[in-house]
Structure 1
């Protein structure tokens, strides 16, 4: 089980500019209390200590988590250090430790050992209290969420909501697809529907159409496309053949003209002139540079190449005209041969393509081609034996011209078939899409309804669970509230989860005889503060409070002295429910109440903070402990002893007078004196006695069921002794008075010891509180009923 905190070591954390250890237990014995009160004026470092508890207990940046701070991790380190040097170490009574360090933007917690058990640390700050009472319902729910956390259910609910949103989007998309498919199919139905087809429902019509076979239509389309392509091929090759014919005729004419010109030039000339030109040209090429022959290749006689070249060039110049005509004749012959070869190729290709065309149309003749009334079988037979020739090609040209005349009609027929096929395919596609999307919509709708049902079930169960918790704590809240505001017609009526919003908490209160009122409209500021505190405390008590350390950080700023006392008493009474209660306050009224009353707390005080020294916590003794130290001091301070004893005594007697409703003389403008208090409690002390159980060294009760283990202390002698020397209070401890000189140190020491003995007799040795709670025949302290300190009588008759 977790143990209370004993030490908190801060290194370079916020105000801790120097390493400091805060001790949460008395250094030398003292009451075994689980309540720690940290007092310090503003600016002494209370928030640093509370934030340190928050960071090591919850990995939270505590008071730095506020809207005005965007990057709290940047402000955790003290002013003189960086974030990497920050360390907070917590130690429990069992010796377990846990360290907190910074890693980037996060807090990293490291346990001292694998079996380390840390208490839960719940921190209540002023702003958290305001969230409970003044914030919006959603923020109010956030403020209490840690007490009613159902993490597994919240995670399941979040996952269900995510799944719902995902499936809802898929459902909407499927519904849109279904609607679009239906719209498209209806348009096709209205446009393409023919007589005799279903006319009541587009899908029924589409199903009817989809049952038709489109194989024949596709076959016709393929054959028509093939025939139309063959027509284009024939037209293309016919054009090529015609171009080849034209080119052949042109080249034949060019050759004839060249031959005629050469014949005219050679008339009357030496018949060998042409051969001579040819011979000289060959010789010129042979002798062309860089060749430089020295012998004739024919006769093998020696030659002068340069001289021979000159002679050949001279003769060729003389024969230039003949040479030019010969070259033209040669070129014309080459071009004519090329044209003839192309003509042969075109004849051959024309016949081949025409065969493909006639064979295709012989087996399938489009309607547009049928208007020509051609016998395609006969054409196919003729071409099967026909040789490629100009005559054959000429007949094919005639056929192509007739086909080209109807080419547009064939294209229209193809386009019509293509449109019909596209419509059929579109009808099938849209019908399929409509069927698939309709099925998908139905499937997703079923899933969505189930998910919504599961989500609603989880949400309702979570709300019921949380509402049950809220209903259960109303009585506890009001009990706590009445302890602070006894007899006032004010309290909590209803805490209610909003039925519409996921995480929203509504509050209803009672005021006078009216129920269901909004507390913010009727409660005073102090009533709202204490109301929020009681709500938070009741929530903290509901689940394993013994594992919790409660931390209150300057929570109360608007309550008066009387309510401070009641809140202190309430905390003292409730502290036993928790592992530990730590209160940080700057209110001196609260500090002084604890210090003077001797209530069971460990009191810490923070001295003035400086940058050089950092936090300065020290143990602040309660008044009775200070009195004990003053009585035992080597150097006796008579005024200090008289003063402390008087203040302690007045506090004890004032409380007893209040508990037993003793009558006191009215003194306007000032309080009652020690003499007044002794006189008014005299009757009480005549019969007053205290009973307390014996305890062992650890403070545990020893067999409280045995009568002999109960110590009985009569208080009459204490009162008589103090009444006899009461003047020491003023004459020595309060005012300058020459009569004080008549009292010896022993007299003052006796007065101090008597005051100490009375306070010690009345206070419970375990919790430190004076018995005041009403029981059957006595008053009891805040300890367990079986072994609490008892004060008799119950009341004065």
Structure 2
């Protein structure tokens, strides 16, 4: 597995970090500010698409994702890449969130000491937030939430139904008040309702129909009364005009005996002739007459004849008008008689059904046909019209009352129907709410039971992990469980020092609480697909004292194979010390040390033996600077001697209470003190196919180096006044070459030490075995 980071937080230039898949545990050591949390944030950015440690920090309104970009780089430069076998996933910054290329396999869980503190010391509700991913059933929680939301919505609907029910009562009161406001003594509402509902709607409809028919007939009688009245006047007028025209025509006829038509034609022709000639004799009888006189006589005659003709036309027109008026009257009489006949029938039917109905006037009862409706009859009806008012008012009053009653019945039934529906809906909603709450309660109980069963299931594992670090302490039981009534609350107590339900926070030290939270975290993680889980513990063991460090380390060593990989970061110097001097085995662990951080470069790996060896090879090849060659030789020898004295547990002087720092002379004394070890030291070389190439005995190489250490001290360190007694560069070159000889004998092609004891027979290099260092264990004295 390989992590590549560039332009991310404190990483400027590309930084690569390899994790050996042959071991399940990697420990990253680095001082504060070296970049341990940046590595954690990079993994969080890629796996979980978050800003890692910045998530719970205030950036004064700035976007956390964009704050991940290195101060000297641009957003598009940021890159986090994870290689796991043949799978590669790359994360960059999109517009406002991570943009992932490839498919992230597995999951990442990060734990820092802050998280441990919160897990142990938080309030029950906050503690539940920390563990809910491990103990909850998302489907059940979702269904329970949906049921709770449904019940809440139904309660709001129930409140609405209750408001509707209240409005129904208000509407009933209002209708009752309007209906009884004219009553001398208003009946009670319920009595009035019963009375309204007791009335037959069919009888009311029949009576209403009778009065509707009466109202319609009376209305038609009233509407057609005026047109009929006017038609009688028009007939009389037409008759008078005809008589006048006829009288005038008789007079005109009596004044003339000529054949009017013939005379008129002749005179017309004569007029034309006289207009065109100047003769003074009559063309018929040759009677001499003055021309002008003749014209006047003809014109007078013509005027009398024209007047007679015009008057004849008027007579004819008057006759036509009289006929039209008579026809109109007859038509109106027929229609009016039909109305009268309909009224008499409706009135008779009403009298048969109803009591107290006023009667019709005689005029309306006497006529048997339309011809009887003469002008004189009409005058009699007009004189009796006032007698129809009681009937009209009675009909209108009864009709209005029946319409109001029908409307009241309709409104009342509608309101009562609404009341019934509201009650039914209220009952149905109440049943649904009760059912939903029952199911939600069952789901909650099942969910809590599952969570508690899960927590109970891990309690044994949790206790085992904790007691492996703190054996023999009087902590009988520590339990984490959900509160039985409070939603989303995780209680944390136990039996400590013989007292039940004690809070660990009140009884245990800070170191104990840290390991307590760490063990709980590991136990929970082991329940959730651990083989696909990458654990990153960021400075999670800072408060653990040295007495418990080895137990904690061996706990990690034992539990790491349960996971895809476990990564632990620490700035705890005793941990580094124990690994550096071989006090903790590295057989199944990758120990990575970070170097000093810089703004230009970012995170770096500490320069170990490999890099120092490369420098030494270059300086020896150049052969120019004696002091540098001597100094680098001493540094490489420190690493080599530290390795040998560590794996074979050579005796070295100790300074209690301080970090051990040994010189080359100390290492020399430790190796020379092992009389049986030095002759037995042997390193065999093999090719990539496992065939032996050569073998090196280390005692001669070490003896040669021991003899030259004084020159290293004189040239590279302390005794400058001795440097003039020998050839500095020559002695430095011999020391460098002797050192490289020991490197070539022990280290593999990559200048890596054989620190693996996997085969149980020898110390081998990692990967393809090309070096075998014997013996595996120090010979007994």
Scaled to the shorter chain, the TM-score interval is 0.5 to 0.7
Task: Report what 2:17 is aligned to.
Answer: 23
**Aligned pair 1:412/2:386, yes or no?**
no
Deviations 1:658-687 (A, max 9, x none): xx9x998878x8979789999xx99x9999
Pick closer, same or farther for the CA change 1:676–1:608 going to 2, 3 Å. Answer: closer
Pick closer, same or farther for the CA change 1:45–1:35 going to 2, 3 Å. Answer: closer
CA contact (8 A) 2:535 2:567 kept: yes
Deviations 1:474-494 (A, max 9, x none): 444455455666677679833
Pick closer, same or farther for the CA change 1:215–1:57 going to 2, 3 Å. Answer: same
**Paired residues for 1:73-92 under 5 Å:** 80-82=73-75, 88-92=80-84
Pick closer, same or farther for the CA change 1:402–1:33 going to 2, 3 Å. Answer: same
Q: Alpha carbon RMSD of aligned pairs, Å?
A: 6.8
- Give, in angstroms, the shift of residue 434 of structure 1: 4.5
Task: Report what 2:449 is aligned to.
Answer: 464
- Give, in angstroms, the shift of residue 132 of structure 1: 2.4
Distance in 1, Cα, partners of 2:377 & 2:331? 13
Pick closer, same or farther for the CA change 1:364–1:174 going to 2, 3 Å. Answer: same
Task: Report what 1:96 is aligned to.
Answer: 87
Match of 2:109 among 110, 118, 122: 122
**Aligned pair 1:225/2:217, yes or no?**
no
Pick closer, same or farther for the CA change 1:37–1:410 going to 2, 3 Å. Answer: same
**TM-score normalised per structure 2:** 0.64
Deviations 1:378-403 (A, max 9, x none): 94673545454433444444565333
Deviations 1:333-374 (A, max 9, x none): 999999888766655543343333222222224999944234
CA contact (8 A) 1:7 1:91 kept: yes
CA contact (8 A) 2:595 2:606 kept: no
CA contact (8 A) 1:53 1:121 kept: yes
CA contact (8 A) 1:32 1:766 kept: no
Pick closer, same or farther for the CA change 1:575–1:635 going to 2, 3 Å. Answer: farther
Task: Report what 2:519 is aligned to.
Answer: 534
Distance in 2, Cα, partners of 1:604 & 1:332? 135
Distance in 2, Cα, partners of 1:150 & 1:371? 82
Pick closer, same or farther for the CA change 1:338–1:300 going to 2, 3 Å. Answer: farther
Q: 2:484 is paired with a residue of what secondary structure?
A: coil
Match of 2:718 among 718, 736, 739: 736
**Aligned pair 1:544/2:536, yes or no?**
no
Pick closer, same or farther for the CA change 1:72–1:489 going to 2, 3 Å. Answer: same
**Aligned pair 1:358/2:344, yes or no?**
yes
Pick closer, same or farther for the CA change 1:635–1:588 going to 2, 3 Å. Answer: farther
Distance in 1, Cα, partners of 2:597 & 2:653? 43
CA contact (8 A) 1:350 1:393 kept: no
Distance in 1, Cα, partners of 2:757 & 2:615? 20
Deviations 1:514-559 (A, max 9, x none): 5545555666666555544333232112233222111234556666
CA contact (8 A) 2:613 2:636 kept: no
CA contact (8 A) 2:75 2:93 kept: no
- Give, in angstroms, the shift of residue 247 of structure 1: 8.2
Distance in 1, Cα, partners of 2:450 & 2:391? 86
Distance in 2, Cα, partners of 1:481 & 1:740? 58
Pick closer, same or farther for the CA change 1:554–1:530 going to 2, 3 Å. Answer: same
Match of 1:7 among 2, 13, 17: 2
Deviations 1:227-275 (A, max 9, x none): 223222322322444566678889999x89x99xx99xx9xx999xxxx
Q: 2:212 is paired with a residue of what secondary structure?
A: helix
Task: Report what 1:53 is aligned to.
Answer: 43
CA contact (8 A) 2:595 2:607 kept: no
Q: List alignment gaps of at least 5 residues for structure 2.
A: 181-186, 258-268, 277-298, 622-628, 678-685, 687-698, 761-774
Pick closer, same or farther for the CA change 1:350–1:644 going to 2, 3 Å. Answer: same
**Aligned pair 1:158/2:149, yes or no?**
no
Distance in 2, Cα, partners of 1:400 & 1:609? 119
Task: Report what 1:701 is aligned to.
Answer: none
Task: Report what 1:707 is aligned to.
Answer: none
Pick closer, same or farther for the CA change 1:351–1:86 going to 2, 3 Å. Answer: farther
- Give, in angstroms, the shift of residue 583 of structure 1: 3.5
Match of 2:25 among 12, 29, 34: 34
Q: 1:601 is paired with a residue of what secondary structure?
A: strand
Distance in 1, Cα, partners of 2:62 & 2:660? 52
- Give, in angstroms, the shift of residue 580 of structure 1: 0.9
CA contact (8 A) 1:596 1:622 kept: no
- Give, in angstroms, the shift of residue 120 of structure 1: 1.9
Task: Report what 1:308 is aligned to.
Answer: none
CA contact (8 A) 2:534 2:565 kept: yes
Distance in 1, Cα, partners of 2:189 & 2:778? 97
Task: Report what 2:692 is aligned to.
Answer: none
Distance in 2, Cα, partners of 1:329 & 1:156? 103
Pick closer, same or farther for the CA change 1:81–1:485 going to 2, 3 Å. Answer: same
Pick closer, same or farther for the CA change 1:371–1:436 going to 2, 3 Å. Answer: closer
**Aligned pair 1:495/2:495, yes or no?**
no
**Paired residues for 1:349-748 under 5 Å:** 349-365=335-351, 370-374=356-360, 379=364, 382-398=367-383, 400-481=385-466, 493-508=478-493, 515-518=500-503, 528-555=513-540, 568=553, 570-584=555-569, 587=571, 589=573, 592-593=576-577, 596-597=580-581, 599=586, 600-603=589-592, 605=594, 608-610=597-599, 616=602, 619-620=605-606, 635=620, 736=718, 745=735
CA contact (8 A) 1:549 1:579 kept: yes
- Give, in angstroms, the shift of residue 449 of structure 1: 3.1
Distance in 1, Cα, partners of 2:551 & 2:403? 96
Deviations 1:434-471 (A, max 9, x none): 54444444444444333322221111111111112223
Distance in 1, Cα, partners of 2:35 & 2:147? 49
CA contact (8 A) 2:11 2:603 kept: no
CA contact (8 A) 2:357 2:394 kept: no
CA contact (8 A) 2:448 2:482 kept: yes
Q: 2:594 is paired with a residue of what secondary structure?
A: strand
Q: List alignment gaps of at least 5 residues for structure 1.
A: 1-5, 194-198, 272-295, 304-314, 689-696, 698-716, 769-788
**TM-score normalised per structure 1:** 0.63
Q: 1:364 is paired with a residue of what secondary structure?
A: helix
- Give, in angstroms, the shift of residue 764 of structure 1: 6.1
Task: Report what 1:692 is aligned to.
Answer: none
CA contact (8 A) 1:369 1:403 kept: no
Pick closer, same or farther for the CA change 1:87–1:633 going to 2, 3 Å. Answer: closer
CA contact (8 A) 2:334 2:370 kept: no
Q: 1:215 is paired with a residue of what secondary structure?
A: helix
Distance in 1, Cα, partners of 2:507 & 2:590? 35
- Give, in angstroms, the shift of residue 191 of structure 1: 11
Q: 1:354 is paired with a residue of what secondary structure?
A: helix
Distance in 1, Cα, partners of 2:52 & 2:273? 121
**Paired residues for 1:764-779 under 5 Å:** 765-766=757-758
Distance in 1, Cα, partners of 2:561 & 2:23? 11
Distance in 2, Cα, partners of 1:297 & 1:106? 122
